[in-house]
A and B are shown apart, each in its own frame.
Chain A
Amino acid sequence: MPETSSNPKTYLGVPVHRPKVAFFELSSCEGCQLQLLNNEATLLDFLALVEVVRFREGMTGGTDDYEIAFVEGSITRQDEEERLRSIRKTARVLVAFGSCACFGGVNQLKNRFSLDQVKKEVYGDHPVDTDYARPLEAVVPVDLRIYGCPVKKEEVEKIVTRIALGSEVVHPRYPVCMECKANGNICLFELGEPCLGPITRAGCDSWCPSNRAGCWGCRGPADDMNILQMVSIMEKYGFSRETIVDRLECFGGFTGHMETFRDAAGIQEKGLKP
Chain B
Amino acid sequence: MKVTCNIDVHHLTRVEGHGNIKISIKEGRLEQATWEVVETPRFFEALLVGKKWDNAPWICGRICGICSIGHTLASIRAIENAFGMVPSEQTRKLRLLLKHMETLQSHVLHLYFLAAPDFLNVGSVFPLINSHPEVVRMAARLKLLANDICDCVGGRRLHPTRTVVGGFTMLPEKAELAMFRKRLLEAIKDLYATADIFRTFSLPDFVRETEFVSLKGEGAYPFIGGDLVSTDGVVRKESEYRQMTNEYLVAQSTSKWSKLSRDSFAVGALARVNNNFVFLETAAKEVAASFGLQPVNHNPYMNNIAQLVESVQVVLEAVALIDELLGSAWDAPREQVMPREGFGVGAVEVPRGILYHAYEFDATGHIIRCDCVIPTSQNHANIQHDLSALAGKFAAEGMQDRNLELLAEMLVRSYDPCISCSVH
Q: Which residues of A contact B (CB under 8 A)?
A: 1-2, 25-35, 37-38, 40-41, 43-44, 47, 52, 55-62, 76-77, 80, 105-107, 109-110, 112-113, 117-119, 121-124, 126, 128, 130, 133, 149-150, 193, 207-208, 211-213, 216, 242-243, 246, 250, 270-273
Contacts and interface: CB of A to CB of B under 8 A. Distances in A.
Contact of A107 (B16, B42, B129, B144): B42
Nearest to B125: A58
A30 B17 contact: yes
Interface string B41-66: 11111111111101100110011111
Contacts of B368: 273
Contact of B43 (A34, A52, A60, A130): A130
B162 A213 contact: yes
B254 interface: yes
Contact of B52 (A43, A133, A242): A242
Given A47-B129, A213-B169, A30 B47 contact: no
Name which of A60, A77, A271 has the most chain B CB atoms within 10 A of its CB: A60
Contact of A150 (B54, B65, B109, B170): B65
Contacts of B421: 29
B159 interface: yes
Interface in B136-183: 140-141, 143-144, 147, 155-159, 161-162, 164, 169-170
A29 B155 contact: no
A34 B144 contact: no
Nearest to B55: A246
B59 A106 contact: yes
A106 B130 contact: no
A50 B50 CA distance: 45
B340 interface: no
Interface in B25-80: 40-52, 54-55, 58-59, 62-66, 68
- Report the interface size class on chain B: 35 or more
B83 interface: no
Contacts of A133: 42
A211 to B, nearest CB: 4
16 contacts: A29-B63, A32-B65, A38-B143, A58-B124, A58-B125, A76-B41, A105-B62, A110-B43, A113-B46, A113-B47, A122-B45, A128-B41, A149-B62, A208-B161, A211-B162, A212-B170
A60 B122 CA distance: 8
Given A58-B14, A242-B52, A122 B46 contact: yes
Nearest to A41: B144
Contacts of A118: 43, 46-47
Contacts of B420: 25, 27-30
B392 interface: no
Contacts of B124: 55, 58-61
Contacts of B14: 56-60
Interface string B105-142: 10001000110010000011110011001000000110
A47 B64 CA distance: 25
B386 to A, nearest CB: 21
A40 B144 contact: yes
- 8 closest A-B pairs by beta carbon, nearest first, are A31-B65, A59-B124, A211-B155, A40-B144, A29-B65, A118-B46, A121-B46, A60-B123
A130 B40 contact: yes
B126 to A, nearest CB: 6
A219 to B, nearest CB: 13
A125 B17 CA distance: 25
Nearest to A75: B40
A47 B161 CA distance: 29
Contacts of A61: 13, 123-124
B316 interface: no
B236 interface: no
Contact of B129 (A1, A77, A149): A1
B158 A58 contact: no
A19 to B, nearest CB: 16
B156 A26 contact: no
Contacts of A117: 46
B109 to A, nearest CB: 7
Contacts of A35: 158
Contacts of B125: 58-59
B50 A270 contact: yes
B83 to A, nearest CB: 18
Contacts of B62: 29, 31, 105-106, 149
B15 A57 contact: yes
Contacts of A59: 13-14, 123-126
A30 B43 contact: no
Contacts of B249: 123-124, 126
